[in-house]
Amino acid sequence: MNKIAERLRKFALSFPETAESHPWGETAIKVRGKTFLFMRADDALLSLSVKLPASREFALDRDFTEPTHYGLGSKGWVSGKFEGKARGKNKPPVALLETWIEESYRAIAPKRILAKLVENT
C-alpha cells in the first residue's frame, strides 16, 4: 500500500500552496494551514479522510468508506480504508481517490488560491 499512498501524497502536494505535517503518526496535507487530506499507510493498510461536499453521498455508498469520526463526518468528511495486499477487491481505486483529494482541496483552499488552478491550466 505504500506505493499507492506515495502516489496519492505526491498528487495532493502538487496543488498550489500545500504543505505536509505528521500529527498523531498520520500524514496531513494542508493548504494554508488547513488540512484537506489525512492519510495513514504501511505495507498492509491505507486509510484516508477527505472533505467531500459534492460527492459525499456517492462516496458513502462504497463498501470501503464511512463518515469520518470525531464529528467530522457531519461536516462532509469521509474516510476510506483498505487492508491487506493491494490487489483484487483490496486494490484502492486510485483515480477515484485522486478525484476525491482534489474535491477536498477545492473545498478547503481559499478562493484566491483556487484562482491559481485556473491560471495554471
Lowest mean pLDDT among 29-38, 39-48, 101-110: 39-48
Number of folded domains that form the chain? 1
User: In this predicted structure, what is the pLDDT of residue 121?
Assistant: 55
| pLDDT score for 50 | 98
Pair 101, 18: CB distance under 8 Å: no
User: Using CA atoms, how far apart are residues 100 and 105, in angstroms rounded to an integer?
Assistant: 9
62 lies in a domain?
A: yes
User: What does residue 30 show for φ and ψ, rounded to 5 degrees?
Assistant: -125, 155
Instruction: Give this prediction's pTM.
Output: 0.92
Which distant-in-sequence residues (6+ apart) come within 8 Å of 121 by Cβ?
none
* Domain boundaries, position 57: 2-116
Q: What number is the average pLDDT over the span 44-63?
A: 95
Contact yes or no for 94/8 (Cβ under 8 A): yes
Q: Is residue 121 part of a domain?
A: no
The identity of residue 19, as a single letter, is: A
